[in-house]
Amino acid sequence: MRKDHRPYYLKRLWFNWLEFYARHFIDPHLDSLGENPFIVKPWHLILFGDPIHIGGNVTLLASAERKINLTVWSEKEDADGIVIGDHVLISPGVRILAANSIRISDNCMIAGNVYISDADWHGIYDRSSSPGRTSSILLQNNVWVGDSAIINKGVTIGENSIIGAGSVVLGDIPANVIAAGNPAKVIKPLDREPFVTRKDRFDNMIELKKLYNKYDRKQLKGNSTLGWLRHLLFPRPGD
């Protein structure tokens, strides 16, 4: 599909349905969910165990072939579980498995197929028991983790740092650097330029929604229900 054939009212109904689904079916399974969550296809968000906290203005992009999996499996009654801050982006296929504590701070971006786990899940010599050795993970503010990276137990990634695609992070990464490789190593420091974070863009969601609605009205002007059905049933070149 090259363009959106939906009439404006159908697109608004779709987004209203996503909001309703998140609050009615997802929120009850969480320990907390902040304001203005944007969860694409929330029925493909897999939640297991507790506690799981998700902050405000988050964006979770799930899909049928690449679900988002947030799992807490802990022997500790006081485990922190999974804590996701405000304005965080989590892309399709991300798996976050906590046996103790995984914290993803504000404004972090997690690209597709990233795997984050704070446990071995089995012992090296006793492989009959779970979760094995555990050690907390912390992603500080504004961290960006590239596609298919793996973050292992006991890792802290410093503020603003970037983890390259496909990297395997076995040890701490300092703030304000780019790290990549297996095992991940610092490649170079980031330039000392001011950062524009996700909060800077998505903090005022009321005004942003008004802007998006105005854009949608303009882009979808002229679309009709019959035209939308036609492109679904009888697609033409250029659709």
| pLDDT, tens digit (0-9, with 9 covering 90-100), for 38-68 | 999 999 999 999 999 999 999 999 999 999 9
Sheet bearing 162-163, strands edge to edge: 38-40, 59-61, 89-90, 109-110, 144-145, 162-163, 177-181, 184-189
Structural domain boundaries in the chain: 31-121+129-203
- Catalytic positions: 122
**pLDDT at residue number 100:** 94
pTM, to two decimals: 0.91
150 DSSP β-pair partners: 115, 168
Q: What is the pLDDT along the chain (239 residues), one digit of tens a residue?
A: 678 899 999 999 999 999 999 999 999 999 999 999 999 999 999 999 999 999 999 999 999 999 999 999 988 888 999 999 999 999 999 999 999 999 999 999 999 999 999 999 998 888 888 888 999 999 999 999 999 999 999 999 999 999 999 999 999 999 999 999 999 999 999 998 889 999 998 888 788 888 888 999 999 998 999 999 999 999 988 88
Say which DSSP state 107 is in: T
Give the fold, CATH level 3, of 31-121+129-203: UDP N-Acetylglucosamine Acyltransferase; domain 1 (2.160.10)
pLDDT 10s digits, 145-163: 999 999 999 999 999 999 9
What is the C-alpha to C-alpha distance for residues 237 and 141, in angstroms, rounded to an integer? Answer: 46
What is the C-alpha to C-alpha distance for residues 188 and 95, in angstroms, rounded to an integer? Answer: 28
